[in-house]
Amino acid sequence: MKIALVGIGKIALDQHVPALAASPDWELAATVSRNGAVDGVEAWRDLDAMLEARSDIRVVSLCLPPVPRFDYAMKALQAGRYVMLEKPPGATLSECALLERAAHDLQLGIFATWHSREAAMVAPAKAWLADKTITSGRITWREDVRKWHPGQDWVFEPGGMGVFDPGINALSILTEILPRPVHLRAATLEFPENRQTPIAAHLHLSNGIEADFDWRQEGPQTWSIELETDHGTLALHDGGARLVIDGAVSAAPDATLSGEYPRLYARMAELVRAGQSDMDLSPMVLVADAFTLGRRVTAAPFHF
């Protein structure tokens, strides 16, 4: 199937392009970007022009920042294309609901992707927890914004989500593996005095689960979820690549991210063939609740 990739930045080049190149399901037939391109692939600067000229392209994958994504997704749907959304699927819950409704009304499909759910040990963790009761937990998700979003000021603008850009990855795993839903009880959000979105956050969730997100960690990055249950302890480390259950370690044979995007594109192919959508917004609900309930504190200015 032919697919167009919209928004050719770091995540597109590092993850989407290699995943598509290795897939038996997809042909990357076009890109749309004001600043980037992929060697050997037809490049466009305008989505409308591409949609009009390339009726053979059945699917559009959007790697844009969250704020402009809604308009692009709606245009693609109205042009009769299936749509794949990089996480988070939008800037607001209401626009995500509108996109899902539009896809349904147009008899198309839309996919809100959560790449961290595709980490190798997430499914085994979910299976082990299925009959357990969670008694407490700790999420530690700390990384360096300068490494992952170098000079990208949009992450600190309204709609950019700040530290929840990586933090939502942890919440996507949590909402996938827990046998029952959780909800937010309270939050503290640290906003640099010169920025519009938080650089750190602490969440108090039900079932005694605490989450610590920070975008200022240099050196080794930390992506861990540890859960106490009525039948032992489970921990996911390295973003879901390593699973520890009561001291017994299971680890993915490959790098943390190497299998995530190939699995997302395999799932997208399934959805297109079945004419279905997958728009689970539960991680985004928790982030929205954090902005609603969160106590705001001021942190030192941040500069790239």
- Which has the closest alpha carbon to 26: 269, 258, 277? 269
The pLDDT value given to residue 251: 79
Q: Give percent above pLDDT 90 in the chain.
A: 96
Three-class SS state of 294: coil
Q: What is the CA radius of gyration of the chain?
A: 19
The pLDDT value given to residue 301: 98
Domains annotated on the chain, with CATH: 2-112 (3.40.50.720), 116-255+287-299 (3.30.360.10)
The pLDDT value given to residue 257: 61
Classify residue 7 as left (phi > 0), alpha (psi -120 to 50) or beta. Answer: left
Helix (H) or strand (E) holding 297: strand 295-299
What's the pLDDT band for 174 if we cut at 50, 70, 90? very high
The pLDDT value given to residue 98: 98
Please check the confidence at residue 274 and state whether its pLDDT lies above 90: yes
How many residues are present in the chain?
304
Structure-derived torsion over alpha carbons of residues 156, 161, 166, 170, reported in degrees to the nearest 10: 160
The pLDDT value given to residue 255: 53
Cβ-based neighbours of 273, under 8 Å, separated by 6 or more = none
Please check the confidence at residue 254 and state whether its pLDDT lies above 70: no
The pLDDT value given to residue 252: 72
Whole-angstrom distance, CA of residue 145 vs CA of residue 147:
5
The pLDDT value given to residue 247: 93
C-alpha distances in Å from residue 275, one per residue of 78, 81, 269, 284: 16, 11, 10, 24
DSSP conformation letters of 135-147: EEEEEEEE-BHHH
Please check the confidence at residue 256 and state whether its pLDDT lies above 70: no
Whole-angstrom distance, CA of residue 165 vs CA of residue 115:
12
What's the pLDDT band for 258 if we cut at 50, 70, 90? confident
Q: Give percent above pLDDT 70 in the chain.
A: 98
Catalytic residue positions, numbered = 87
Average pLDDT of the segment spanning 201-221: 97
C-alpha distances in Å from residue 8, one per residue of 44, 45, 188: 11, 11, 34
Per-residue model confidence as pLDDT tens digits over 52-82 = 999 999 999 999 999 999 999 999 999 999 9
Average pLDDT of the segment spanning 19-36: 96
- Which has the closest alpha carbon to 9: 61, 75, 72, 51? 61
